[in-house]
Amino acid sequence: MKAVYFAWVRERVGLTDEEIAPPADVRTVADLLAWQIARGENYAYAFENAKAIRAALDRKHVKHDAPIAGVREVAFFPPMTGG
Amino acid sequence: MKAVYFAWVRERVGLTDEEIAPPADVRTVADLLAWQIARGENYAYAFENAKAIRAALDRKHVKHDAPIAGVREVAFFPPMTGG
Amino acid sequence: MQPKISVRTEPFDAAAESAALTKGRADIGALVSFIGLCRDEGGALAALELEHYPGMAEEEMARVAQEAARRWPLMGLTAIHRSGRIAPGEPIVLVIAASGHRAAAFAAAEFMMDYLKTRAPFWKKEWRRDGTAGDWVEAKDHDDAAMERWREPGKRGE
Amino acid sequence: MQPKISVRTEPFDAAAESAALTKGRADIGALVSFIGLCRDEGGALAALELEHYPGMAEEEMARVAQEAARRWPLMGLTAIHRSGRIAPGEPIVLVIAASGHRAAAFAAAEFMMDYLKTRAPFWKKEWRRDGTAGDWVEAKDHDDAAMERWREPGKRGE
């Protein structure tokens, strides 16, 4: 699964994207956020406030309870400020 | 007092403008409309449906009960269709 | 903020009017433009002839613009209305509202149009392709309704 | 009606985009354009840096445009969003909605902006005149509220 990061999530993680291989018990976006936090200080910093993190699965907005099974690309980013 | 006419009111009256001198008992726009109707067939045709006639006194929209004392220019026209 | 009001026969340059409002400043966040065009749905229209009340048309447009400027924090407001014969597809009216934020710019531009439609002394007459005069365009109830809603409490963007 | 969606670094030509929508047709009565500009109220901003999610940004803009086209009878819809560094006073986003009547064109353009603000994956970072990085612009509650009102019954112009 490819993970992509934007804005201050990207800056805090220190990567624009990476391949990730979460274990089988990581089933939802919320699970994935918890798993990411345990991966290191940069991830803990990026994802410390789960409420401030938006997610997209294969380029579609999802809520944190969305299942990640079969997803090729997961994106994490702050609330959008375009326009 | 100068009377000016626009759109189909102008076409029916057959004039763009004229000097009028209504008698002293013509006090409001409604009075003026009734007085105009009595002036001839073209005026009767133009002003037959008083509800369809809008008026302006010295270039400001008014209702038919507005007094005309001291007014220099009265305008009669249909509801506006600009924009 | 001094609104720019104009009635004229020649076409307007919407891009130039927008540029005139934004030039040399960086406090405008939102620019909303409305262009009203001469429409011919049936294919029988040669032109609309726009008649106006010289003097009052400009004054009424200015009064509406001042009311918009009173209601919303505007940094620019332009209203140009053409008169004379206008062919299908050609522009009739331009309104541009500039503000710090989009809600005020959208509301002010729509308010201007709703008020101009029912208060500015302009009338449209149809000319047909066969050279004959058509009808005077009739005022629409929904235009009055569009204006009335600005009198309700909780108006947008204020 | 096929909406035109674009994300790009270079400036857009709003007049050319409007002309592309209206060219050769006489059924459009109303054209509403919105331009969002980079604003600098304090005088300390060198530029905004617009980051976006390539691919998803275009897709989400297209989804919002399709929703607008479903809600209102549109004859044209264009949405262009820039990315990269944008200086104060420069345009960031353009939305143009064309319709037979003004209520639909106004509503569709404002709907597009309200949805783009909260759904299109763009983020703004401030760069200060002293060369240092400023803050990431924070999302505003009133933008969410602006989007939510389109879910209420009795939506405008529909």
Find the domain containing D43 and state its range. 4-151
> Which of D57, D113, D139 is the closest to A81 by Cβ?
D139
Residue C19 placed within a domain: yes
CB contact under 8 A, A80 and D119: yes
Residue D157 placed within a domain: no
Q: Would you state the structure tokens that stand for residue D143, as one six-digit string?
A: 């933008």
Nearest CA in chain B to C52: B6
- ipTM over cut 0.90: yes
Mean pLDDT of B31-60: 97
- Give, as one character, the DSSP assignment of residue B80: P
Q: Is C145 on the interface with B (CB under 8 A)?
A: no
Chain C environment of B7 (Cβ under 8 Å): 51, 123, 125, 136
Note whether C touches D: 3 CB pairs or more under 8 A. yes
Burial class (CB in 10 A: 0-12, 13-18, 19+), A4: buried
Note whether B touches A: 3 CB pairs or more under 8 A. no
Question: Out of D18-32, D106-120, D129-143, which region has the weakest mean confidence (pLDDT)?
Answer: D129-143
pLDDT confidence bin for C155, thresholds 50/70/90: low
Chain D environment of C45 (Cβ under 8 Å): 26
What pLDDT, on a 0 to 100 scale, did the predictor assign at position D139?
92
Strand ranges across the sheet with D133-136:
D84-86, D45-52, D122-128, D133-136
CATH number at residue C51: 3.90.1170.40
Q: Give CA angle at C103 (C92, D141), nearest 5°.
A: 160
Residue C94 placed within a domain: yes
Hunting for tokens 């006419």 — which residue is that?
A: B5
Q: Where are the alpha helices (DSSP H) in C13-101?
A: 14-22, 56-71
Q: Is C44 helix (H, G, I), strand (E, B) or coil?
A: coil
Task: Indicate whether C79 pLDDT > 90.
Answer: yes
Chain B environment of C51 (Cβ under 8 Å): 6-7, 10
Can you tell me the distance from the alpha carbon of C122 to that of C139, in angstroms, rounded to the nearest whole number? 11
Number of domains in chain D: 1
Chain A environment of D136 (Cβ under 8 Å): 7-8, 78, 81
What pLDDT, on a 0 to 100 scale, did the predictor assign at position D157?
67
Residue D53 placed within a domain: yes
Mutate to test the interface with A, among D6, D39, D56 (most CBs of A within 10 A): D56
Can you tell me the distance from the alpha carbon of C26 to that of C93, in angstroms, rounded to the nearest whole number? 27
Query: pLDDT digit string (tens) for C18-65?
Result: 999 999 999 999 999 999 999 997 889 999 999 999 999 999 999 999
Mean pLDDT of B50-60: 97
Residue D156 placed within a domain: no
Nearest CA in chain C to B11: C136
Query: pLDDT digit string (tens) for D76-103?
Result: 999 999 999 999 999 999 999 999 999 9
Residue D46 placed within a domain: yes
Can you tell me the distance from the alpha carbon of C13 to that of C10, in angstroms, rounded to the nearest whole number? 10
Are B83 and C120 contacting, i.e. CB atoms less than 8 angstroms apart? yes
Ramachandran region of residue C152, left (φ > 0), alpha (ψ -120 to 50) or beta? beta
Can you tell me the distance from the alpha carbon of C96 to that of D141, in angstroms, rounded to the nearest whole number? 27
CA distances to B25, D138, D148 from D141, rounded to whole Å, are 63, 10, 11
Q: Give CA angle at C151 (D118, B75), nearest 5°.
A: 130
Q: Would you state the structure tokens that stand for residue B45, as one six-digit string?
A: 């045709």
Residue C73 placed within a domain: yes
Nearest CA in chain C to D86: C26
Are A53 and A62 contacting, i.e. CB atoms less than 8 angstroms apart? no
pTM equals 0.95
Chain D environment of A17 (Cβ under 8 Å): none
Chain D environment of A16 (Cβ under 8 Å): none
Q: Would you state the structure tokens that stand for residue A67, as one six-digit string?
A: 């299942």
Nearest CA in chain D to C27: D39
Nearest one of B51, B68, B56, B61 to B17, comparing CA atoms: B56
Residue C157 placed within a domain: no
Nearest one of C36, C37, C35 to C14, comparing CA atoms: C35
Q: Which domains does chain A have, with CATH numbers?
A: 2-77 (3.10.20.30)
Can you tell me the distance from the alpha carbon of A10 to that of C101, in angstroms, rounded to the nearest whole number? 29
Nearest CA in chain A to D84: A82
Can you tell me the distance from the alpha carbon of D9 to that of D7, in angstroms, rounded to the nearest whole number? 7
CB contact under 8 A, C26 and D38: yes
Mean pLDDT of C108-125: 97
